[in-house]
């Protein structure tokens, strides 16, 4: 996992200067790792709460934002800034 503490802003900071495909790939891996961590039976409850479904859901929202420009409801002003830091306009255009 990129963010060992399951902080969304840390993850976005780590992928900020990557290209479109790298961001999607790393986000997919991060969301999968967070969900698997949540499902482990031998993990303490504090880690489970911190790195659980909420963190994975935020990463999935980032994937939706990058692919489809679907902006999630910002939970705080900080979330809006974090999503704005990753620019989905860098994605390759389809067509002729």
SS (HEC) of 35-75: HHHHHCCCCCHHHHHHCCHHHHHHHHHHHHHHHHCCCCCCC
| In-domain check, residue 94 | no
2 belongs to a structural domain: no
pLDDT of residue 70: 79
pLDDT at 49: 66
Q: Provide the residue range defining the domain that includes 37.
A: 8-86
pLDDT confidence of residue 31: 93
For the chain, what is the domain count?
A: 1
Helices 8-15 and 53-68 cross at an angle (nearest 10°) of 40
The answer to the question of residue 51 being in a domain is: yes
- Single pTM value for the model: 0.78
Q: Is residue 71 part of a domain?
A: yes
Residue 57 lies in a domain: yes
pLDDT reported for residue 89: 65
Which residues of the chain fall short of a pLDDT of 70? 41, 46-50, 74-77, 79, 87-96
pLDDT of amino acid 28: 96
Residue labelled with tokens 């967070």: 34
Inside any domain, residue 35: yes
């Amino acid at each position: 996992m990129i963010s060992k503490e399951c902080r969304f802003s840390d993850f976005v900071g780590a992928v900020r200067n990557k290209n479109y495909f790298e961001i999607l790939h790393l986000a997919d891996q991060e969301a999968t790792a967070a969900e698997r961590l949540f499902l482990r039976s031998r993990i303490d409850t504090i880690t489970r709460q911190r790195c659980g479904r909420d963190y994975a859901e935020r990463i999935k929202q980032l994937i939706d934002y990058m692919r489809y420009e679907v902006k999630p409801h910002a939970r705080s002003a900080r979330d809006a800034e974090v999503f704005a830091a990753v620019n989905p306009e860098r994605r390759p255009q389809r067509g002729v």
